[in-house]
């Protein structure tokens, strides 16, 4: 079984934190191989002092849904202050930094540019650089493997809390490698220590690691969700339900005005690799179309190795715009603290893909246009990961 950075730290790298005052940035996915929550492990440890708890989007203990804010409070179990780094405050304040020597970051990422935890890490690194403090990142696997890369690279002018730096939609890096990327490529040159995993192989999907899957966010219930997420998160920028409020978010999607059988036939005609579609009806219990009957599809990934989540979502959007021109709409801002750009542009990291979709451009032609950006990213990624990504 893979040993995560947390396991490695607790077994033989405690000296990294010895004698230091620690702020811990974590969530429910931050467990060790004995299923112990990191807060409990750190509270029991005598060689360092845990002085504060910091929570990302969804909160330290996953108390809130997506894009909901959480105010500072006192943790009932430990009595420690808990500060939220999502909402009115994305970056740790100077006051928060004064009482600590180092920040420990340990959360399960899902391998997609949109996932906000990686930008919380970047803001922490900014604060550590300014205050001359240290960040220690406990590495965890990329659950959708560390080899495959897909989608457009974010372009200048489209930065947001779902994309701060020029990385593609599916980046093929671990959270520790992203910390190195932020350090070397984005100029966040604070003191950075990554506690690497033991036994992880880049080609592995999460189930092959032997580690337990703990929801890193409320709508990421399974590894299957993470597999489709690089594409299906784009539906947050539309008036189509991405399946929040169902038991299979991002795999189930639809709207009251969609005819499931017609939609299914259109998608099956593309012959997309590694995926099949099934017509269905559903009623979301919350979020878009709450308690309304929706027609739509369930996406069934039949071969993870050939499945292209971003290309698949691009094809879905193409069909929806072509077949439902009177009903399909892009969602209006605000979205993730951005008020002057369409959410879909923020998610794609550019405006030209939306514009091409609006012109009826074929998905293959759109996909070919993002390849140049991927080639440039491959070079930077090779330097960070010390691997060939060809």
- 196: domain CATH number is 3.40.50.12170
379 occurs within a structural domain: no
Is 291's pLDDT higher than 90?
yes
Is 165's pLDDT higher than 90?
yes
pLDDT of residue 379: 84
- The arithmetic mean of pLDDT across residues 124-151, rounded, is 98
Q: Indicate if 36 and 184 belong to the same structural domain.
A: yes
The helix/strand/coil state of 22 is strand
82 occurs within a structural domain: yes
- The arithmetic mean of pLDDT across residues 166-192, rounded, is 96
149 occurs within a structural domain: yes
pLDDT range class, residue 61, cuts 50, 70, 90: confident
How many whole angstroms separate alpha carbon 68 and alpha carbon 189?
31
pLDDT of residue 63: 67
Is 65's pLDDT higher than 60?
no
- The arithmetic mean of pLDDT across residues 239-245, rounded, is 98
Q: Indicate if 193 and 308 belong to the same structural domain.
A: no
Q: Indicate if 132 and 203 belong to the same structural domain.
A: yes
For residue 321, the tally of other CB atoms under 10 A from its CB is 18
Is 54's pLDDT higher than 90?
yes
Contact in structure between 232 and 341 (CB atoms under 8 Å):
no
Q: Indicate if 45 and 100 belong to the same structural domain.
A: yes
388 occurs within a structural domain: no
Question: Among 70-74, 133-137, 164-168, whose mean pLDDT is lowest?
Answer: 70-74
Prediction pTM value: 0.95
385 occurs within a structural domain: no
pLDDT range class, residue 59, cuts 50, 70, 90: confident
Is 387's pLDDT higher than 60?
no
Name the maximum alpha-carbon separation found in the chain: 64
Q: Which domain does 253 fall in, by range?
A: 223-373
How many whole angstroms separate alpha carbon 14 and alpha carbon 390?
37
Q: In the numeric block, which tokens belong to residue 36? A: 């112990």
Q: Indicate if 49 and 151 belong to the same structural domain.
A: yes
pLDDT, tens digit (0-9, with 9 covering 90-100), for 17-46: 999 999 999 999 999 999 999 999 999 999
336 occurs within a structural domain: yes
Is 241's pLDDT higher than 50?
yes
Strands 134-138 and 191-195: parallel
Q: Indicate if 19 and 89 belong to the same structural domain.
A: yes
Which residues on neighbouring strands pair with residue 299, listed in sequence order?
A: 277
Q: Which residues contact 46 (CB under 8 A, 6 or more apart)?
A: none
Q: Which residues contact 150 (CB under 8 A, 6 or more apart)?
A: 168, 169, 170, 230, 308, 309, 310, 311, 374
> How many structural domains comprise the chain?
2
Per the listing, tokens 């970051």 go with: 105
Contact in structure between 336 and 162 (CB atoms under 8 Å):
yes
384 occurs within a structural domain: no
Q: Indicate if 150 and 95 belong to the same structural domain.
A: yes
Q: What is the DSSP letter of 241?
A: B
Q: Indicate if 29 and 127 belong to the same structural domain.
A: yes
Q: Indicate if 284 and 204 belong to the same structural domain.
A: no
CATH number of residue 360's parent domain:
3.90.1150.140
217 occurs within a structural domain: no
Which residues on neighbouring strands pair with residue 298, listed in sequence order?
A: 252, 278
pLDDT of residue 87: 84
pLDDT of residue 134: 97
The average confidence (pLDDT) of the chain is: 94
Q: Indicate if 205 and 244 belong to the same structural domain.
A: no
Q: Indicate if 195 and 231 belong to the same structural domain.
A: no
Q: Indicate if 310 and 265 belong to the same structural domain.
A: yes
pLDDT of residue 8: 98
Domain boundary among 185, 209, 233: 209
How many whole angstroms separate alpha carbon 222 and alpha carbon 264?
24
Give phi and psi for 384, each to the nearest 5.
Answer: -80, -45
Q: Which residues contact 187 (CB under 8 A, 6 or more apart)?
A: none
How many whole angstroms separate alpha carbon 218 and alpha carbon 30?
14
């Amino acid at each position: 079984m893979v040993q995560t950075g947390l396991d490695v730290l607790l077994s033989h790298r405690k000296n990294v934190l010895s004698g230091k005052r620690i702020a811990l940035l974590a969530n429910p996915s931050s467990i060790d191989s004995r299923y112990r929550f990191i807060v409990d492990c750190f509270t029991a440890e005598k060689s360092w002092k845990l002085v504060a708890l910091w929570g990302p989007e969804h909160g330290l203990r996953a108390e809130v849904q997506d894009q909901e804010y959480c105010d500072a409070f006192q943790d009932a179990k430990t009595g420690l202050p808990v500060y939220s780094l999502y909402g009115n405050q994305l970056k740790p304040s100077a006051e928060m930094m004064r009482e600590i020597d180092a920040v420990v970051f340990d959360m399960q990422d899902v391998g997609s540019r949109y996932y906000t935890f990686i930008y919380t890490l970047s803001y922490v690194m900014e604060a550590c650089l300014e205050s001359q403090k240290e960040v220690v990142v406990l590495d965890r696997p990329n659950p959708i493997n560390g080899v495959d890369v897909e989608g457009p690279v974010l372009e200048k002018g489209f930065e947001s809390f779902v994309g701060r730096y020029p990385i593609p939609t599916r980046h093929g890096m671990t959270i520790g490698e992203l910390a190195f990327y932020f350090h070397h490529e984005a100029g966040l040159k604070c003191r950075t220590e990554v506690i690497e995993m033991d036994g992880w192989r880049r080609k592995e999907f999460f189930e092959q690691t032997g580690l337990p899957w703990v929801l890193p966010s409320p709508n990421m219930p399974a590894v299957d969700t993470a597999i489709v997420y690089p594409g299906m998160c784009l539906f947050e920028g539309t008036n189509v339900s991405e399946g929040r409020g169902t038991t299979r978010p991002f795999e189930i999607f639809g709207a009251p005005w969609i005819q499931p059988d017609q939609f299914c036939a259109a998608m099956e005609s593309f012959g997309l690799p590694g995926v099949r579609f099934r017509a269905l009806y559903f009623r979301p219990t919350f979020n878009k179309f709450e308690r309304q009957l929706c027609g739509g599809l369930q996406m069934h990934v039949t071969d993870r190795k050939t499945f292209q989540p971003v290309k698949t979502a691009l094809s879905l959007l193409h069909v929806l715009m072509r077949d439902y021109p009177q009903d399909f709409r892009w969602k209006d801002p605000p979205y993730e603290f951005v008020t002057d750009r369409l959410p879909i542009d923020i998610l794609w990291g550019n405006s030209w893909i939306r514009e091409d979709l609006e012109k009826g451009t074929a998905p293959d032609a759109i996909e070919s246009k993002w390849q140049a950006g991927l080639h440039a990213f491959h070079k930077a990624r090779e330097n960070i990961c010390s691997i060939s990504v060809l």
